[in-house]
Structure 1
Amino acid sequence: MTLAWVLVLCVSLLPRDPMSRFILKRSSPKDEFPNLDRNRTLMGRILDLHMYTRQFNRATESGVLFDDIIRPGLEDPGQSIGPKAVGCLAGDAQSYILFCDFFDRIIESYHGYKVTSDAVQESDFNYDNLKGGDDFDQEYALSCEVTACRSIEDYCFPTHCSRGERKQLLTLAKTALEQLAEDLPGKLYSIDELSHESEDRRVVMDSPPSSLIKIGVARDWPDARALWLSMDGTLAVWVNMEDHLKLVSYRSDACLQEAFKTICINVLKMETVYKKLRHPFIWKPHLGWVVSSPAEVGTGLKASVTVKLLHLAENKRMDDILDRLRLDMEETSCPGIYKISNLQTIGLNEVGLTQLVVDGVKLLIRMEKRLENNSGIDDLVPAQK
Structure 2
Amino acid sequence: MTFPHLSQSLIPPDPMTKLRLKRGSPKEEFPSLDGNYTYMAQVLDLHMYTRQFNRATDSGVIFDDIIRPGLEEPGTRTGLRTAGCLAGDAQSYILFCDFFDRIIEAYHNYRVSSDATQHSDFNYDNLKGGDGCDPVYAVSCEVCVTRCVEDFCFPTHCSRGERRQLLTLAKTALDQLGEEFPGKFYSIDDLNQEMKDKEIVMEGPPASLMKIGVARDWPDARALWVSEDGTLAVWVNMEDHLRLVSSRNDSNIQEAFAVICNSLLKLEALYKKLRHPFIWKPHLGWVVSSPAEVGTGLKASITVQLVHVVRHKRRDSILDRLRLRMEINHLSGMHKVSNQQTIGLTEVELTQLVVDGVKLLIRIEKRLENNGGIDDLVPAQK
TM-score range normalised by the length of the shorter chain: over 0.9
Indicate which of 227, 245, 252 corresponds to 1:255: 252
Aligned-pair CA distance for 1:333: 6.3
Match of 2:211 in 1: 214
Work out whether residues 194 and 204 of structure 1, in 8 Å CA contact, stay in contact via their aligned partners in 2: no
1:174-228 superposed Cα distances (whole Å, 9 cap, x missing partner): 0010011112111111111222344999996331122311322010111000011
Question: Identity percentage over the alignment?
Answer: 73
* 1:355 equivalenced with 2:352 (yes/no): yes
* 1:129 equivalenced with 2:134 (yes/no): no
How far, CA to CA, are the matches of 2:317 and 2:180 in structure 1? 44
Letter in 2 for 1:99: F
Aligned-pair CA distance for 1:15: 6.9
How far, CA to CA, are the matches of 1:58 and 1:17 in structure 2? 6
* 1:45 equivalenced with 2:39 (yes/no): no
How far, CA to CA, are the matches of 1:36 and 1:230 in structure 2? 44
Match of 2:310 in 1: 313
How far, CA to CA, are the matches of 2:353 and 2:202 in structure 1? 33
Work out whether residues 55 and 62 of structure 2, in 8 Å CA contact, stay in contact via their aligned partners in 1: yes
How far, CA to CA, are the matches of 1:358 and 1:320 in structure 2? 18
Aligned-pair CA distance for 1:53: 0.5
**Structure 2 vs 1, CA of residues 262 and 334 (structure 1 numbering), >3 Å: closer, same or farther?**
farther
Work out whether residues 12 and 95 of structure 2, in 8 Å CA contact, stay in contact via their aligned partners in 1: no
* 1:272 equivalenced with 2:269 (yes/no): yes
Match of 2:325 in 1: 328
Aligned-pair CA distance for 1:378: 1.0
How far, CA to CA, are the matches of 1:42 and 1:71 in structure 2? 13
**Structure 2 vs 1, CA of residues 250 and 201 (structure 1 numbering), >3 Å: closer, same or farther?**
farther
Match of 1:168 in 2: 165
* 1:244 equivalenced with 2:241 (yes/no): yes
- TM-score, L = length of structure 1: 0.94
Letter in 2 for 1:121: Q
Match of 2:291 in 1: 294
Aligned-pair CA distance for 1:361: 0.4
How far, CA to CA, are the matches of 2:292 and 2:18 in structure 1? 31
1:335-384 superposed Cα distances (whole Å, 9 cap, x missing partner): 43210000000010000000000000000111111111111111111111
Match of 2:8 in 1: none
1:13-38 superposed Cα distances (whole Å, 9 cap, x missing partner): x9753112211111111101111112
Indicate which of 74, 77, 83 corresponds to 2:74: 77
**Structure 2 vs 1, CA of residues 199 and 75 (structure 1 numbering), >3 Å: closer, same or farther?**
closer
Aligned residues: 372
* 1:107 equivalenced with 2:104 (yes/no): yes
How far, CA to CA, are the matches of 1:123 and 1:204 in structure 2? 40
- TM-score, L = length of structure 2: 0.94
Letter in 2 for 1:108: E
How far, CA to CA, are the matches of 1:16 and 1:36 in structure 2? 31
How far, CA to CA, are the matches of 1:51 and 1:382 in structure 2? 36
How far, CA to CA, are the matches of 2:192 and 2:355 in structure 1? 36
Letter in 1 for 2:141: C
How far, CA to CA, are the matches of 2:353 and 2:80 in structure 1? 19
Match of 1:11 in 2: none
How far, CA to CA, are the matches of 1:272 and 1:204 in structure 2? 37
How far, CA to CA, are the matches of 1:255 and 1:204 in structure 2? 30
1:264-320 superposed Cα distances (whole Å, 9 cap, x missing partner): 001100000000000000000000000000000000000000001011111111111
Match of 1:3 in 2: none
**Structure 2 vs 1, CA of residues 125 and 15 (structure 1 numbering), >3 Å: closer, same or farther?**
closer
How far, CA to CA, are the matches of 2:196 and 2:12 in structure 1? 55
Please tell me the root mean square deviation across aligned C-alpha atoms, in Å: 1.7
Work out whether residues 35 and 74 of structure 2, in 8 Å CA contact, stay in contact via their aligned partners in 1: yes
Which of structures 1 and 2 has the bigger CA Rg?
A: 1
Aligned-pair CA distance for 1:332: 3.0
Aligned-pair CA distance for 1:136: 1.0
Letter in 2 for 1:165: E
SS at match of 1:195: helix
* 1:17 equivalenced with 2:14 (yes/no): yes
Work out whether residues 295 and 345 of structure 1, in 8 Å CA contact, stay in contact via their aligned partners in 2: yes
* 1:229 equivalenced with 2:219 (yes/no): no
Uncovered stretches (5+) of structure 1, i.e. residues with no partner: 1-13
How far, CA to CA, are the matches of 1:155 and 1:99 in structure 2? 18
1:76-110 superposed Cα distances (whole Å, 9 cap, x missing partner): 11111121111100000000000000000000000
Work out whether residues 78 and 85 of structure 1, in 8 Å CA contact, stay in contact via their aligned partners in 2: yes
Match of 2:63 in 1: 66
How far, CA to CA, are the matches of 1:127 and 1:112 in structure 2? 25
Match of 1:26 in 2: 23
* 1:36 equivalenced with 2:33 (yes/no): yes
How far, CA to CA, are the matches of 1:22 and 1:102 in structure 2? 22
Indicate which of 137, 140, 143 corresponds to 1:140: 137
SS at match of 2:34: coil
Letter in 2 for 1:184: F
**Structure 2 vs 1, CA of residues 202 and 225 (structure 1 numbering), >3 Å: closer, same or farther?**
farther
Matches within 5 A, 1:196-211: 196-198=193-195, 205-211=202-208
Match of 1:184 in 2: 181
Letter in 1 for 2:310: A
How far, CA to CA, are the matches of 1:145 and 1:196 in structure 2? 26
Q: Higher mean Cα deviation, 122-131 or 330-339?
A: 330-339
**Structure 2 vs 1, CA of residues 336 and 198 (structure 1 numbering), >3 Å: closer, same or farther?**
closer
How far, CA to CA, are the matches of 1:265 and 1:159 in structure 2? 29
**Structure 2 vs 1, CA of residues 203 and 283 (structure 1 numbering), >3 Å: closer, same or farther?**
farther
Match of 2:83 in 1: 86
Work out whether residues 191 and 205 of structure 1, in 8 Å CA contact, stay in contact via their aligned partners in 2: no
How far, CA to CA, are the matches of 1:110 and 1:258 in structure 2? 28
